Structure 1
Amino acid sequence: MENEDVNWAACPECKGQGKKSRGLSKKMKLRYQNELNLFEKSNSEGKPPIRPKAHQHSCSNCLGSGLVRVANRLVADAGTFPHVAIIGGGIGGVALAVACLHRNIPFTLFERDQNFEARSQGYGLTLQQASKAIEGFGIFSLQDGVVSTRHVVHTMEGKIIGEWGIRKWIQSDAEKYEKRTNIHIARQLLRLQLLKQLGGSKFVQWGHQLVDFKESENQGLELTFQTKNGMKKTKADLVVGADGIRSSVRRQLIGDEATPLRYLDCIVILGICPLEALKDIDDSLLDSATVFQTANGNERIYIMPYTADSVMWQLSFPMPEEEAKALSVLGTKALKEEACRRIQWHKPIPQILEATQESEISGYPVYDRELLTSEMLQKGNSVTLIGDAAHPMSPFKGQGANQALLDALLLARAISLGCRSSSEWKKIGLREKVLNEFEVEMLARSAIKVKDSAAAAEFLHSDIVLYESDEPRGRCLKKKDK
C-alpha cells in the first residue's frame, strides 16, 4: 500500500492495537482456576497466581496496523482523554504525536529548535523491528528508504571474513524475502514523513525550551518554557519526555546523579558521501544495496546506503574521553583529517572519506546511561519518558530510532485503552491506569538493546570483530555464553 494523503483512525475491531485476543483456552482457564483455588485454600500464603494472557493474532480488519481510513482529520477528544505535552520534536516525539492524533488523544508537541531546518540533515538509520511498526503511524511505504540485501565484513586489506543477507542465502528468489531485509533511511527524511502524517510543521510548537514543570495532585501539570518572546506557561495532564540523551524532563524527574552519562570509551566520526563524487570508481560495494564494514581490532568503519545515490560512513575507535571531547570541538576539518589519517585501507574506503565534504561530517564521544528502573520513573505521577530520554544507547546496534518508534506506539495505545473514561483515570491517576504497565514493558524490551549496544562498543574495537563467520559481529559471544 502506497502512502496517500488520507486520514487515519484507530481500528474499531482491535481498538488500534493491531492485534486481537484469541481468548484463553479451556486448558489454560482450568489450570489458572486450580492454581487460584490452591492459593485461596492456603490462606493466601505466598504469591498469588498470575492470570495467563491470551494468545493474540493480527487483526484482519486493519491488517495489523491498528489503523483504518477515515474521511476527515480526527478531532481530539478532550472530554475523555488526558492532554499530553510531548517534549521533543525528534523521531520519537513526532511519532507519539501522530499516534495520539490517530486515537483522538489531545496533545501539544514542543520543540526547542526554531524550525525543522534548524537541525542538520543528520545521519542515517536502519529500521529493523520498527520496519513493520511504522505502518502503525500510517506510513505504508518509506519514500527514499533503501533496502539492503547484502552485508559484508572485511579485514583492512580487503579480505572478506563474513557475509550474509538475501543475496547470499536466497539468491534465486530475493524479492520473496524482502521482509527479512533492513530499511535504511536518512533520519530527517523519516522525521519529515512523520510530520507529513501529523499534518505538517504547523502542528509543532517550535522555539519552546522546557524550563521546568510542576505537578499538582488534582490539577495536572504546569509547564514553563523559554521562547523568543520570553517565558510561557501552559498546562497538561501528562508530560512525556522525548528530548534525547540529555533530556531536561529526565533531569528534573530523577536527576542526573542517579544515572549519569556513561562514556563508552570511543568516539564516532560520521560522514555522508554522494556516489557521484565516486563516479570513476566501479565497485560492487557501492551498488546502493550493500552494507559493508571493515575493522582491524581497533578502528572500525561501517558504510551503508544513505539514499539511492549516497552512502553514510561511521568510523569509530577507542579514545580517552577528554581527547574525544577535544577532537569533536575542533570541528569538521579536524575530524576528517583524523579519519583519513587512520583509515588507509582497501578500496573504496579511502576514496569515500576523501570525497566527503567537510560540511557533511560530524563527530562525538559515545555515551549511554545506566538502565532505569520502574521505581525511578514512579517519582512522576503524570510524567514519563520515551526513546533516548528513557534508554539511551550506543549507535553500534542501530536500535535508537527503532526503540523510540516502538515506545511511541506502545504509549499511545496504552493511553487509548486505559483512558476510555475521564472520570476513571482522573480518580485513579495516570500512573496506575497507564504508566506503570507501559514503563515495565518499555524498559524490559529496551534493556537488552542497551546492553547489546554497550557490548558492541567494546567488541567492535577488539579482535572479536575479526572472527570469521557469516553472521553479525558479536553473535559468537552469545553462542559462547550459552
Structure 2
Amino acid sequence: MPPSSSRSIAVIGGGLSGLVLARILQQHDIDCTVYELDATADARRQGGLLDLHVESGQLALREAGLYEQFRGLTRPQAEAMRVMDKAGTVFIDQAAPESSGAGGRPEIDRTELRGLLLDSLDPGRVVWDHKLRSAARLDDGRYALDFANGSRRTADLLVGADGAWSRVRPLLSNASPTYTGVSSVEFHVIDAPTTVPASAALVGTGSLFALSDNKNLGGHGGRDLHLGVMLRTAEDWLDTRGVDWSSDAAAARAVLLAELADWTPALTDLIRHCDDEMVPRRIYALPTDHSWPHTPGATLVGDAAHLMSPFAGEGANAAMLDGCELALALIEHGDDVEAALREYETAMFPRSSDASRRSARGLDLCFADDSPRGLVEFFGRVGAGGVN
C-alpha cells in the first residue's frame, strides 16, 4: 500500500462514525474523502436526541477536538426519564440534573451533533450525492468504487460506514441484518405544551418509555416531541395495514390508535395531534458476535459493522468510538495500514459484541407481556442511568 502521504482513503457514509473518523484524521493532516448518498446535509431528518457516554461518544469528541462545542449544544433537561404503563401509571420518574456538568450522559440533538462534525471538516472533505452501488477489490489491492450517479473512484483504503444495508460489508462478511421482531412508526408533536398540554406534561422533558403488552409509545419529550409507536409484531406488519405511511396520515393515525385502543387518552392524544409526517421502520440487527477475517485494505465501522437494536442507547456511541479508534490506529501505525486495521478490529469485535448483547436484552425488557415490570426491575438493580 502507498505511504500515508499518497494513500487514498475512501469512507463510504457520512454518518457519525464516518465523520468522526474524517475529523480526527484531518486533525493529523491525513486526507480522506467521505462519500455520502444524500444530496445535501439537510436532505432528511437525522432522528431525535442521543445520550453520549463518557467512555465512547464523549471520548470520540474529545479526540476530535470538539468536546467543548458539544457541551454547549447539550440539553440538560432532556436527561430526565419516565417509565410508565399504558394507563399512565408512572413507575420511574428520574429528574433532570440541575446543570449539564462534566460526566454523565448528556443529551444532544442528532442533527446538531452531525452538523457540528460536518462544520469541523475542510470544504470538499464530504462529497454529496454519491450513493455506492458496488465495490470490488482490484488485482493491485486497491478498491474500485462504482456510484449510482455514474462516477467511479479508486481507493487504497476502504472504510464502510454505510449503515445497516452496507454495500461494503459483503467484501468482508456474509452476514446480513435480520428482523428483531419489532416495527415502529415515528412521528413528531411540535410545540406540545401548546397543542397537547396534558400529554406534554405526562411525557416530561426527557426520555419516555410507556410500555405494556409488547408495545411501546416512547421517545423524547420537551417542547417538540420525537416519539414512536413500537410493536413486537410480524415483519410484514407495516405492509399489511393497507396504509400509505408516507402520505395518508389520517389512516396511519387510525391504525396506531387501534393498536393502542385501551391506552390512556393522555398518551394516545400524542398520536391524534402529531405532525402528518410519519416514518415507518423495521428494526434489524446483525448477529451479536458479528466479526470477519482480516481483509487487506478494508474495514467497517458503525452500523455496517455491528447493527444493533436501539434499546440500550449503544449504537451511536459505539459508532463514534469506532471512528475514533480506527483513526487513532491509522495515525499510530503510519504506513502499516494492515497493523492498524488489525489493532482496530481486535479491540472492536468484543466491545461491539458486548454492546449488541446488551441492546438485545434491552429490547426484551421493553417488549414483553408484562412490561414495564422487567425494565423497572432492571433500573432498580443498576440505577436509572443504566439504559437510556
Question: Normalised by the shorter chain, which TM-score bucket?
Answer: 0.7 to 0.9
Query: 1:237 is matched by which residue type in structure 2?
Result: D
| CA gap 1:365/1:82 in 2 versus in 1, 3 angstroms | same
Matched position secondary structure for 2:42: helix
Greater shift, 277-286 or 203-212, is seen at 277-286
- In the TM superposition, what are the counterparts of 1:94-173 in structure 2 within 5 Å? 94-128=19-53, 129-139=56-66, 140-142=68-70, 144-147=73-76, 148-164=78-94
Preserved contact between residue 19 and residue 117 of structure 2 (Cα < 8 Å): yes
Cα deviation, residue 418, structure 1 = 0.8
Number of equivalences: 372
Instruction: State which of 211, 217, 231 in structure 2 corresponds to 1:301.
Output: 217
Contact 2:75–2:100 (8 Å) recurs in 1: no
Measure, in 1, the Cα distance between the counterparts of 2:102 and 2:241. 41
Matched residue SS, 1:356? coil
Report the secondary structure of 2:306's partner residue: coil
> Which one has a bigger Cα radius of gyration?
1
State yes or no: 1:394 paired with 2:312.
no
2:125 maps to 203
Distance 1:131 1:309, change over 3 A: farther
Residue pair 2:160, 2:300 contacting (<8 A) in 1 also: yes
Consecutive unaligned residues of structure 2, counting only runs of 5 or more, are 384-388
Q: Is the 8 A contact 1:386 1:407 kept in 2?
A: yes
CA distance change for structure 1 residues 335 and 81 in 2, over 3 Å: closer, same or farther? farther
Relative contact order, higher structure (CA 8 A, sep 6+)? 2
Answer yes or no: is the 8 Å Cα contact 2:138–2:144 preserved in 1: no
1:365 maps to amino acid: R
**Alignment RMSD, CA only?**
3.0
Letter in 1 for 2:344: F
Asked whether 1:323 is paired with 2:237, we answer yes
Distance change (3 Å), C-alpha of 1:468 and 1:121: closer
Shift of 1:87: 0.5
Q: 1:457 to 1:127 in 2, by over 3 A?
A: same
Q: Give the unaligned 5+ runs of structure 1.
A: 1-76, 168-173, 477-482
Displacement of 1:320: 0.9
- Report 1:189-228 matches (<5 A): 189-199=112-122, 202-216=124-138, 219-228=140-149
Distance 2:276 2:49 in 1: 17
Look up the SS of the partner of 2:69 in the other structure.
coil
Q: Is 1:448 the equivalent of 2:354?
A: yes
Amino acid at match of 1:208: H
Q: Percent identity?
A: 23
The match for 1:362 is: 279
Equivalent of 1:350 in 240, 244, 268: 268
**1:299–1:449 distance in 2 versus 1, CA, 3 Å:** same
Does the aligned pair in 2 maintain the 1:278–1:355 contact within 8 Å? Answer: no
Q: How far is 1:182 from its partner?
A: 3.2
Specify the SS of the correspondent of 1:180: coil
Q: Answer yes or no: is 1:337 the counterpart of 2:337.
A: no
Specify the SS of the correspondent of 1:315.
strand
Match of 1:472 in 2: 379
- Whether the 8 Å CA contact 2:13–2:34 is kept in 1: the answer is yes
Deviation at 1:224?
2.6
- What is the CA-CA distance between 1:453 and the residue it aligns to? 1.5
- Residues 327 and 100 (structure 1 numbering): CA distance in 2 closer, same or farther, change over 3 Å? farther
- How far apart are residue 415 of structure 1 and its match? 0.2
Comparing 106-115 with 146-155, greater Cα deviation is found at 146-155
What amino acid does structure 2 have at the position aligned with 1:130? Answer: G
1:250–1:468 CA distance, 2 compared to 1 (3 A): closer
Give the structure-1-normalised TM-score.
0.69
1:152 and 1:164 in contact (8 A); partners too = yes
Alignment partner, residue 14 of structure 1: none
- Is the 8 Å Cα contact of residues 218 and 227 (structure 2) preserved in structure 1? yes
Kept in 1: contact 2:214–2:371 (CA 8 A): no
Q: Deviations over 1:414-465 (max 9, x none)?
A: 000011xx3xx2xxxx22x111121121111111111122222223111252
